[in-house]
């Protein structure tokens, strides 16, 4: 039987970019269907107030990235935290990406804040703790990133599985049912470029030029991380 993944959408792509890249759930569906064509999906637009009726609504849930910060005072963020706690209590599988990674951490007792190290953009490479994350096929991986917030302290019981000099907690697991990454497996370099150009002044010229240069000498491995995500959901 094919797996049914619930996508918890926490942001909208800029309207002028949607014809080229789609919305965030489209990006995840493209990424994951390339690895397993039998997957099915339902999306809930959490930012618009939608949430699944219960944790049984999908085999596992995936929380997308967002331009919101998890510590913003927004009702939909508090509601999503509540749903994550329900999933955790029921040991229902949850994958969090970028904002989703941070939201899961905060919902379960960790802390998130704006990093003094500034923005992480372009292709970032991370060291993997294979002892903590046995699904990894190697001790390093690279993903596109776009974030200023970071997980400052993990929730109780969580294990750090990925790190680099810019982002200490770049991935974590909790039990057999939670997996999160700071990087964006669903992004493609062209979309990453659009964001850097659009947020140029916010990110800063030097960091943008470093991010643009990263495309030349680092390979984004979204498909590889997608395989880890599916192996985790299938376990």
**pLDDT, one tens digit for every residue, the chain (235 residues):** 689 999 999 999 999 999 999 999 999 999 999 999 999 999 999 999 999 999 999 999 999 999 999 999 999 999 999 999 999 999 999 999 999 999 999 999 999 999 999 999 999 999 999 999 999 999 999 999 999 999 999 999 999 999 999 999 999 999 999 999 999 999 999 999 999 999 999 999 999 999 999 999 999 999 999 999 999 999 9
184 part of the active site: yes
**b/e burial code for range 76-105 (CB count within 10 A of at least 16 → b):** bbeebbebbeebbeeebbbbbbbbbbbbbb
Residue 2 confidence (pLDDT): 85
Residue 206 confidence (pLDDT): 95
Catalytic residue, from 88, 166, 177, 184: name it.
Answer: 184
Which residue segments constitute the domains of the chain, with CATH numbers given?
A: 4-234 (3.40.50.880)
- DSSP annotation of 226 reads H
Q: From edge to edge, which strands make up the β-sheet containing 158-163?
A: 40-45, 4-9, 60-63, 93-97, 178-181, 171-174, 158-163, 120-128, 140-147
Distance (Å, rounded) from C-alpha 153 to C-alpha 40? 34
Residue 20 confidence (pLDDT): 97
Q: Is the dihedral of CA 227, 50, 175, 110 positive or negative?
A: positive
- DSSP annotation of 184 reads B
| pTM (2 d.p.) | 0.97
Residue 61 confidence (pLDDT): 98
Catalytic residue, from 47, 88, 98, 166: name it.
Answer: 98
Catalytic residue, from 87, 186, 220, 221: name it.
Answer: 186
């Amino acid at each position: 039987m094919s797996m049914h993944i619930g996508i918890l959408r926490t942001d909208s792509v800029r309207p002028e970019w949607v014809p080229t890249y789609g919305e965030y759930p489209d990006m995840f569906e493209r990424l994951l269907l390339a690895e397993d064509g039998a997957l099915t999906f339902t999306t809930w637009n959490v930012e618009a107030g939608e949430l699944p009726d219960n944790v049984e609504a999908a085999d596992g849930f995936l929380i997308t990235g967002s331009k919101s910060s998890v510590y913003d005072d927004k009702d939909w963020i508090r509601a999503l935290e509540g749903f994550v706690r329900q999933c955790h209590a029921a040991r229902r599988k949850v994958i969090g990406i970028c904002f989703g990674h941070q939201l899961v951490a905060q919902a379960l007792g960790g802390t998130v804040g704006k990093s003094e190290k500034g923005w992480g953009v372009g292709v970032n490479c991370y060291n993997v703790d294979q002892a903590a994350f046995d699904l990894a096929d190697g001790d390093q991986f690279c993903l596109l990133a776009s974030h200023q917030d970071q997980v400052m302290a993990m929730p109780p019981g969580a294990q750090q599985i990925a790190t680099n000099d810019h982002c200490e907690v770049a991935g974590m697991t909790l039990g057999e049912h939670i997996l999160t990454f700071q990087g964006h497996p669903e992004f493609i370099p062209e979309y990453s470029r659009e964001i850097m150009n659009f947020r140029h002044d916010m990110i800063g010229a030097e960091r943008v030029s470093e991010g643009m240069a990263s495309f030349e000498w680092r390979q984004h491995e979204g498909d590889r991380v997608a395989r880890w995500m599916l192996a985790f959901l299938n376990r």
